[in-house]
Structure 1
């Protein structure tokens, strides 16, 4: 409770299970991630409640075979993979599953973020976001490859991180902002094999206004219900 920084941090760990944890910090407290993982493998996080001023769970470079299940997140910045590519020689990220989670009044829902300046090569692949409920969430689904919170001209730079084989499945609820699906990938390294399946989100704004989606530099496919209409073409 009320940590000065990350509440729990796992670095170069293997075969760890975390369950029935409650983490709490004010929603205005910076860098108070609930659980941070990096350079670790076979980590299980489940049945926990996390309310902070930053990411509920952040998955950093070198994370492999991470399963995050049944997490209640909010307030906070959601569950994030990244940021990636900030430093040279980062290890790749793969095999991440986020499933059966509930986001309430968070800045983001499920997010992948990579640094744009400076940016170093890295890859993130085999990522699944499945059965996610959002309520009053500003960015329910977001890939941000122009992440540089300390600069204003990030769009001029292209991330060198390669994102591929990412599935967003059965994500539903209410978006606080009009753009419910925001996939902004690197011009230098377009996202590949991105799948949207059974997306069902309304816009919690003005009556009669529908949520929208936005894509840039994305290659993938969309299946099933797509609300808002997908910016990725159906096969």
Structure 2
């Protein structure tokens, strides 16, 4: 009888692969000529360390020791032969010269599977030198500034214990990724820094954002076209614009957004709490199966908001949104509203919101003008349990 071991060895011989597990191997960027003085660019050293780690058939570990490393824009590309950990113990510092702003990415990872980014270190985007160039809120054709960290076509990966400060644009941009867990990250930028979204997700599925703190000048988390099976839990948001689905409907042929859960989160003095926003006029798409549950609001403006007339520039046509919003639950949301209207469901007359549920809402107004109010327009659904303000469904 042929034993299992002999069968395994025979299989290894046939497919010409090694069946001996290789030990983890460290690829220290200092061994490749990196300099941690905060001034010399380290793109070549980092690129060489990544290349060797990516070609290693075992568990490669790119290690960035303590210190400050100036680093120009670069993309770390797979596919890799083994698994790679990118371990940041030091601080990576983005360039400040104007010509470096022409790219949409400072540090990127593409076509990588089983990637881990960790180490407790910093990504310092040096955003203060670039924010005054950002006019995207009023100029649709604006030039995009670089995101600090961007993942494209990355699968089955984990980002944890990383700090991102002062990104020129979005801190972490996730596109066309699957099964990514982000935990214990700290994101920080001034409240008035433009378009510095904390985590932006598009065309991705199975993304989990856990146990993190996000303080920024735009959305703490934003989910746009093609976001599916997203979980946000135990996140503290503020300052910022809250957690948003959208904006949706601005571009042609956008993919639906579905199966979104935001739970056990805290919002502190944000411009919005939990929000769904769509353009009017818009192309046709949908947002569905969305749950916002067990959420604390502390002095938040617009704690619960569906906005289907979203137009930040104020120059939009008088029209209705064609984005369909359905099967949305707001449950056990409590705290204080800094605006008199604590619940606003401003839906489209062309496609009214369907099956919206308000369950156990307790959001008194924190102000001098009276009680909090709820406003529902073209919204169909139900209210149950505690309703402060009085339910409008």
2:381 corresponds to which of 188, 202, 220: 220
1:133 corresponds to which of 289, 293, 296: 296
- State the Cα distance separating 1:153 from its structure 2 match: 5.5
Q: Could you report, residue by residue, the CA deviation over 1:166-223 in whole angstroms, capped at 9, with x for unpaired residues?
A: 000000000001000000001100000000000001101117x110000000000111
Q: Could you report, residue by residue, the CA deviation over 1:97-144 in whole angstroms, capped at 9, with x for unpaired residues?
A: 000000000000000000113x10001000000001001101100000
> 2:204 aligned with 1:40, yes or no?
yes
> 2:371 aligned with 1:200, yes or no?
no
- State the Cα distance separating 1:80 from its structure 2 match: 0.2
> 2:340 aligned with 1:181, yes or no?
no
1:211 corresponds to which of 372, 378, 384: 372
> 2:392 aligned with 1:231, yes or no?
yes
Q: Distance in 2 between matches of 1:168 and 1:26?
A: 29
Give me the TM-score of the superposition, normalised by structure 1. Answer: 0.96
- State the Cα distance separating 1:150 from its structure 2 match: 1.4
Q: Distance in 2 between matches of 1:202 and 1:218?
A: 22
Q: Distance in 2 between matches of 1:122 and 1:153?
A: 19
User: Which residue does the alignment assign to 1:191?
Assistant: 353
Q: Which runs of 5+ in 1 are unaligned?
A: none
1:98 corresponds to which of 262, 266, 282: 262
- State the Cα distance separating 1:157 from its structure 2 match: 1.2
More relative contact order in 1 or in 2 (CA 8 Å, sep 6+)? Answer: 1
User: Which residue does the alignment assign to 1:161?
Assistant: 323
Q: Distance in 2 between matches of 1:140 and 1:160?
A: 24
Q: Which runs of 5+ in 2 are unaligned?
A: 1-164
Q: Distance in 2 between matches of 1:28 and 1:21?
A: 21
**Considering only CA atoms, is the larger Rg found in Structure 1 or Structure 2?**
2
CA contact (8 A) 2:280 2:316 kept: no
SS state of the match for residue 108, structure 1? coil
Q: Distance in 1 between matches of 2:315 and 2:336?
A: 29
- State the Cα distance separating 1:151 from its structure 2 match: 2.1
Q: Distance in 1 between matches of 2:332 and 2:314?
A: 34
1:149 corresponds to which of 312, 318, 323: 312
User: Which residue does the alignment assign to 2:187?
Assistant: 23
Q: Distance in 2 between matches of 1:151 and 1:218?
A: 23
Aligned residues: 229
- More strand by proportion, 1 or 2? 1
User: Which residue does the alignment assign to 2:26?
Assistant: none
